[in-house]
Each structure stands twice: as C-alpha cells, then as structure tokens.
Amino acid sequence: MTAAPIHVAGERLMLDPAGVLHWPARRTLVVADLHLEKGSSFAAAGRFLPPYDTRETLERLALLLRRWRPVRIIALGDSFHDRGGAARLPLAEAEALRRMLAGLEMVWVLGNHDPDPPEGLPGLAAEEFTDGRLVFRHQALPPASRFATQPGAEISGHFHPKATMATRAGGITRPCFLADGRRVMLPAFGAFTGGLDVRDPAIADLFPRGARAFLLGRERLFSMPTGPCRMPAVPAPAAPFA
C-alpha cells in the first residue's frame, strides 16, 4: 500500500489507504470508530447480523500494527458500539486485543457511543488528548468554538466521512479522509460502519472553505478537492390526499 503524506500544523502525517493515520515523529497510529461489538449490540435489540465484526476489525488492525510498528495507538472514540461493548468481547477477541496492545501506549479517546473507559483493557482514557500542536478528539469542534482561536490542528472521527469521485465508469463512492490546513477527519475503521457524505451540512459546515478528500482504494488513496458546498435540500413530501 502507498500512504499519502500531508502536512498539518507543521507535522508530517501519513494517510494509509486502509483508513488509519500514522504520525511518524511520534510513532503513533491513529484509528477512528472501530465500533467493536456492534453485531452483538444489534443482536440484543433483535436485529441479527453476522457476529464476526469484531474479529474482522481486529485482524485488519493487527496487520497495520505490523506494517507501521507504532509505540502508541490513539483510538478516536466509538471504539465500542455501546457502554457494554468491552464486557461483551468474546474471550478469543479479548485476548487478541490484549496481546495486540501489550507493550504499547494506548489512548482511548471517549466517544458518544462509548463515553466510559473500556473495562479490563489497558490504556489511558480521556475526553480529548493533546500532543504538541495536535489535539485528538472524537467529534470536531464547530468553527465558532474556541478551536477557531487556538493554534495547532485537530484530528477527529465520528462522522464516518465518504465521498463520490466521478470516473468514466460513473461515480465511485468510498470512505475517505477529509483534510484542510487545520483539521483531519478520519474514516470509520469498523467492519459494520456506514458513512456520511462530505457534502452533508454536518461535515461541510466544519470545512467552510472546502477541503481535500482522500478516498480509500485497495492500494492507494485517490485525492480530490471538495468545495464549500452542501448537498441539495430534499423537498418535503407532499401532503397525503384527504
């Protein structure tokens, strides 16, 4: 795979086509929205999915740890699909995760799905984590917040961004990174995660001057600009006949 370098707040960051970010200067791997145990959460609510999402997600993450050999992992929140996700980990997956984290510094940024630290797993849990000029949080702060007046840059997840690129064969929609000079938004890494179009106001309003999307490919990223535009409004449905 060929990772793409970007420069944010004076730091060189590598965007991996598998959907993770590597910070070489700190030997740090950043991953967003694992949503481990989403399948079991859905099953408890009577919506049955194949119960293999956690295994697939951890196997993909293990490959990337071997690729980048970090000394630290930062998970940007929603690492588990709900508060009880860590406790529901099957024994084999729980042991695999502990082996994976052995000897590493682990930072669990808390998300809206997992607002509490994961029980029984090593690492530091925090609402947000700062290192140098980079701040890592689950959900990006709006432009009108204190973030707008602070130096540095923000690395976040939460929105599961995806974008559509025009090709001769038609539009291709893929999860993507989204970045400008002060923000990097990561795609969701979990096996059972969907996506939100980067033109949706929830994302577009965070990048009022536009950004660059890096769509995930099998071996490389595909880059395109995203202008300061929104998706067209959906007309309200007509009133039913009386």
Q: In the prediction, which pLDDT does 143 show? A: 87
The average confidence (pLDDT) of the chain is 89
Pairing of β 153-156 and β 134-137: parallel
Domain limits for position 27: 4-226
In Å, how far are 4, 68, 103, 240 from 71, measured between CA atoms? 21, 9, 8, 60
Assess if residue 67 is contained within a domain.
Answer: yes
Question: Is residue 114 a part of any domain in this protein?
Answer: yes
User: How many Cβ atoms from other residues are within 10 Å of residue 75's Cβ?
Assistant: 30
Instruction: Give the span between the Cα atoms of 102 and 82, in whole angstroms.
Output: 24
Q: What is residue 1's predicted lDDT score, i.e. its pLDDT?
A: 77
Q: Are 33 and 78 in contact (CB under 8 A)?
A: yes
Q: What is the pLDDT of residue 63?
A: 97
DSSP lists the bridge partners of residue 179 as: 184, 212
- The pLDDT tens digits for 44-73 are 666 666 667 899 999 999 999 999 999 999
The H-or-E segment that residue 201 falls in is helix 201-204
Residue 117 has pLDDT above 50, yes or no: yes
CATH code of residue 63: 3.60.21
List the structure tokens of 236.
Answer: 């309200």
* Residue at 60 is within a domain: yes
**Mean pLDDT within 135-162:** 91
Average pLDDT estimate for 184-212 = 94
Number of domains in the chain: 1
Residue 113 lies in a domain: yes
What band does 236 get if pLDDT is binned at 50, 70 and 90?
Answer: very low
Q: What is the pLDDT of residues 17-34, one digit of tens each?
A: 999 999 999 999 999 999
Percent of the chain residues topping a pLDDT of 90? 70
The verdict on residue 119 lying in a domain is yes
Contact 173, 162 (CB under 8 A): yes
Within a domain: 241: no
DSSP state of 38: H
210 phi-psi bin (left φ>0, alpha ψ -120 to 50, beta other): left
pLDDT class for 151, splitting at 50, 70, 90? confident
**What is the Rg, in whole angstroms, of the alpha carbon atoms belonging to the chain?**
18
> Is the pLDDT higher at 167 or at 200?
200
| Candidate from 122-126, 150-154, 196-200 with smallest mean pLDDT | 150-154
**β-pair partners for 23:** 28
Confidence bin at 222 (pLDDT 50/70/90): very high
In a domain, 242, yes or no: no
Half-sphere exposure of 84 (CA within 13 A, CB side): 6
167 in a structural domain: yes
